[in-house]
Amino acid sequence: MSEFKTPVKSRKPLEANEKITIPPSPFLNRLGYGTGVSVMQLVRSPRAGQIRSPWALKMLNKRVKPNRVYTDRLQAEAELLQRMSHPNIVGFRAFSKSKILYLGMEACDLSLGDMIEKKVEDDCEPFSQKQILKVALDIGKALDYLHTKMQILHGDMKSYNILVNGDFVTCKLCDFGVTLPLDENGVFDKENAGNALYFGTEAWSAPEVINGGTITNKTDIWSFGLTLWEMMALMPPHSAIDESGASLDDESFDESMDYFNDKYGTRPDIPANISPETYSSALTIFFCCTETNPSSRPSAQHLVEVVEHFTSNLT
């Protein structure tokens, strides 16, 4: 595999970006949301007859009072995005904390999580193996760039943090608000992390997160494996009570949630409607990514090489 060379771009300081007018939130289309923030679409006015691409704006949720924690986190994410340049990582556009705090980013069509929800609503079949391999290839490249060139752990891999353009033309990784530094060996660099700790989302968290082990770049790989599982199961990992399909909405569900907590950090079963023959390549990747021992999981670079091999053999 040829080495990916990071393009070098001239960057303006964060406070010297294009000044924009943000209309009241009722006139903005919400693309997503997270802890304390909303992601809105901004359609920019044309300039001298030119059509300008829309932006995605990450802004404080109206119910959240501006505070140093959210401001610092958003600025740190903006500074990180500004330093990165990769075709499978969402692009930086602007940052402002003057009157309205926002991070402007490249806008994409839909998150993979939204696409999964839509399939469930429309009672559709799981994603095809070809689509799963496309996600694995594009996001594998993004993770390789993060882990090796930037020495950063994403820290919250899941379907809602993957953006898709068109019919899986390009997939991009987004949401870098809880990243952690890695040392030259791919291990969580506590000395340079300050007070930062692994955040993540429990249902996607690796065994070493749940059980208190060493955090490494392989921690992202586990969560990514469960993200590919989402594309087959059309549900979040560990959200079904048993293989019969009983779910969180089932009347017999124990409100204590103990059943689900015990499942976190384990490999989910293959969904009942997934044929091992039809999805052989996707399942191979899923099993490799979700090995309990982190050293048995592939690096992002190795993952890309395996996916490229599988993709070349698709008929």
Q: What is the mean pLDDT of each run of 10 residues along the chain (315 residues)?
A: 42 53 57 67 61 73 67 89 96 83 86 95 95 98 98 96 96 94 96 85 95 96 98 93 51 55 91 95 98 98 97 80
| Rg (the chain; Cα; Å) | 20
Instruction: Give the active site residue among 72, 138, 144, 156.
Output: 156
Q: Can you state the percent helix, strand and coil of the chain, rounding each to 5?
A: 35, 15, 45
Chain centroid to Cα 150, Å, comes to 16
CATH architecture of 17-106: 2-Layer Sandwich (3.30)
* Burial degree of 202 (CB within 10 A; 0-12, 13-18, 19+): middle
- The predicted pLDDT at position 256 comes to 46
Pinpoint the residues of the chain covered by CATH 1.10.510.10: 110-312
Tell me if residue 156 is catalytic. Answer: yes
- The predicted pLDDT at position 211 comes to 94
110-312 CATH choice from 1.10.510.10, 3.40.50.720, 1.10.150.120, 1.20.1440.120 = 1.10.510.10
Three-state DSSP class for 58?
A: strand
Pinpoint the residues of the chain covered by CATH 3.30.200.20: 17-106
